[in-house]
Amino acid sequence: MADELDAVVRADQTMPDHLSMRDEDGEIRADFVAAISRAIAEENAPFLREIVSDLHEADVGDLIEALDSDERVRLVELTGADFHFSALNEVDETVREEILEELEPEAVAEGVRELDSDDAVELLQVLDEDEQDEILGKLPQSERDALERSLDYPENSAGRRMQTEFIVVPRDWNVGQAIDFMRETPDLPDRFYEIYVVDGINRWQGAIALDALLRSHRDVPLADLIDEDRRKVSVLDDQEEVARLFGKYNLVAAPVVDTDDRLVGVITIDDVVDVIEEEADEDLKALGGVSSGEELSDRVWTIARSRFNWLLVNLATAFLASSVLGLFEGALEQMVALAVLAPIVASQGGNAATQTMTVAVRALATRELGSSNAYRVVMRELLVGLVNGIGFAIITGLAAYAWFRVPGLGVVIGLAMVTNLVAGALGGILIPIALDRFRVDPAVASGTFVTTVTDVVGFFAFLGIATLWFGLK
């Protein structure tokens, strides 16, 4: 013990006080990471334990990501019981999986036992079923059962996100009894914001916020404080739906009930914040043609393969668009200016359509756009396309004439521009709405369709009108 203390003191000397984890901008300092790497190489466990127990688990997570692959596992092993496994929920899934697979199942089981059930589920769900079973097998029966039940709920369901630790009280108690109960129960959940009232067979009755308890005198019956209108969530509800509920009604926690209306868990706002960020991440990536699972720590090969598929679809649509150009080979040969200008018509239409599509995808995701206002929004986008189409028809027409000095070329590109911006507006709004109706995520699939429309319409309109106007063939 004296030895260990000594070691800590020596460790502290190698780590001066001013060497903190982050610089003023909140970025991790390179010399901090280097000091940790050194300590891992030297197996300086007391020093690492001190660091890890001083840091918030979110910071431990960031530290882990900044380390090299093999240092990560060593850090967890060297710090032992001082390492809080919730830090592993703060790192990319790829990294988490790597670490969990390297660690001894006993060590993982030990770490999982310290976690709230929702954190334990989040941790375990990155492993495949065999690995999960191996770890679950090392847990006490009751904990194993609870976790297996949660893992059985579909991915992205409320059942996966909920914690099964919560406080229930009977309806006929008063405030004093509820407070005494909390003072005397040893293993309350780590953090909680409300308590729940259930009937004799565990059916949901209502919620009581902690501030409501604290405002009231001891003799006030709980029945007076129960909020029976509180939104509840079903275990099978999609997490996106749950997040919307929290955002809309400003909740910090929501009870989760099973199909018989029995209270089985609680979802708290910190989990919902994660969901909101994940969903925003997914939509943004989907619109950019990146799979939602792609993480910054993924390897080159994994990333290249996952992006390849989407690019392949795009290549097919690019050939489709070019085949329209191919139809007009004769015209292109006779007037090379058409070949030079055609991409402008397609690109401008594509950009205008992307604007419309972005707004539509976002409004569908937030449910601002629904059947009640779809007609109004479609008409509005159509008009915006027309107005900007006319504007850019004039600008592009003048520019094209000024460039090539071919009489009529300005009119031709102008007409094509209006056509394509109107087509783009229609495609940009109708394609996401249609995909949403068919329960396909509009963020994932809209982009390809929309730019295909504007490429094909752009090329066809420009070269078709040019062929007629100039009598080409």
For the segment 64-93, give every residue that binds its own copies (CB under 8 A): 66
- Which of the residues 21 through 60 are near its own copies (CB under 8 A)? 26-28, 30, 33, 56, 58
- For residues 343 and 154, give the distance between their C-alpha atoms in angstroms, rounded to a whole number: 46
Q: How far is the CB of 152 from its own copies (least distance, A)?
A: 26
If one asks whether residue 165 binds its own copies (CB under 8 A), the answer comes out as no
Q: Contact region for its own copies (CB under 8 A) — 41-49, 254-262, 284-292, 408-416?
A: 284-292
d(CA 217, CA 224): 12
Of the candidates 409, 395, 246, 391, the residue with the CA atom closest to the CA atom of residue 341:
409
* Among the residue ranges 95-103, 145-153, 158-166, 179-187, the one whose residues contact its own copies (CB under 8 A): 179-187
Question: Is-contact 282 239, C-beta < 8 A?
Answer: no
Which residue is it, tokens 């949660």?
150
Q: Which residues pair with residue 207 across a beta bridge?
A: 196, 227
Q: What angle do the packed helices 30-41 and 69-79 form, to 10 degrees?
A: 70
Of 14, 53, 69, 322, the residue at the interface with its own copies (CB under 8 A) is 322
CB of 45 to its own copies, least distance (A): 24
Closer of 9 and 58 to its own copies (Cβ): 58
Residue 134 CB partners (closer than 8 Å, separation 6+)? 105
Binding residue for its own copies (CB under 8 A) from 99, 287, 393, 429? Answer: 287
- For its own copies, the closer of residues 103 and 363 by Cβ is 363
Count other Cβ atoms within 10 Å, centred on residue 144: 16
Q: Is 311 near its own copies (CB under 8 A)? A: yes
Separation of alpha carbons 286 and 361, rounded Å: 11
Long-range contacts (CB closer than 8 Å, 24 or more residues apart) made by 46-50: 46/4, 46/7, 46/8, 46/11, 47/7, 47/8, 47/11, 47/12, 47/14, 47/15, 48/75, 48/78, 48/79, 49/78, 49/79, 49/80, 49/82, 50/8, 50/11, 50/12
Q: Given candidates 149, 171, 262, 285, which one binds its own copies under the rule CB under 8 A? A: 285
Nearer to its own copies, 194 or 204 (CB): 194
Q: How far is the CB of 334 from its own copies (least distance, A)?
A: 9
Min CB(2)–its own copies separation in Å: 29
Give the nearer residue to its own copies in terms of CB position, either 9 or 280. Answer: 280
Minimal distance, residue 57 CB to its own copies, in Å: 9
Question: Of 13-21, 97-105, 106-114, 325-333, which part binds its own copies (CB under 8 A)?
Answer: 325-333
In whole angstroms, give the CA distance from residue 284 to residue 287: 5
As measured in angstroms, the least distance from the Cβ of 441 to its own copies is 14
- CA dist., res. 66 & res. 37, Å (int): 10
Q: By CB under 8 A, what part of segment 249-278 binds its own copies?
A: 249-250, 252, 269-270, 272-274, 276-277
For residue 127, the SS3 value is coil
Instruction: Dihedral sign for Cα 224, 186, 121, 53, please.
Output: positive
Is residue 348 a contact residue for its own copies (CB under 8 A)? yes
What's the min distance (Å) between Cβ of 415 and its own copies? 16
Stretch that binds its own copies, among 43-51, 100-108, 232-240, 307-315 (CB under 8 A): 307-315
Q: How many chain residues touch its own copies (CB under 8 A)?
A: 108
Closest approach of its own copies to the CB of residue 253, in Å: 9
- Least Å distance, CB 101 to its own copies, is 22
Residue 268 pairs in a beta bridge with 253
Whether the CB-CB separation of 451 and 349 falls below 8 Å is answered with no
**Single residue of 166, 204, 246, 460 touching its own copies by CB under 8 A:** 246
Judge whether 57 and 91 are in contact, CB under 8 Å. Answer: no
The yes or no reply on residue 114 touching its own copies (CB under 8 A) is no
Pick from 7, 127, 209, 445: which binds its own copies (CB under 8 A)?
209
**Please, what sign has the CA dihedral across residues 319, 325, 330, 335?**
negative
Task: Based on the shown chain and the rule CB under 8 A, indicate whether residue 312 belongs to the binding site for its own copies.
Answer: yes
Q: Which of 114, 203, 319, 440 binds its own copies (CB under 8 A)?
A: 319
Work out how close the CB of 443 gets to its own copies at its nearest, in angstroms, rounded to a whole number: 9
Q: Out of 47, 85, 166, 192, which residue is the one contacting its own copies (CB under 8 A)?
A: 192
Choose among 33, 58, 48, 116: nearest CA to 79: 48
Quote the radius of gyration of the chain (alpha carbons, Å): 30
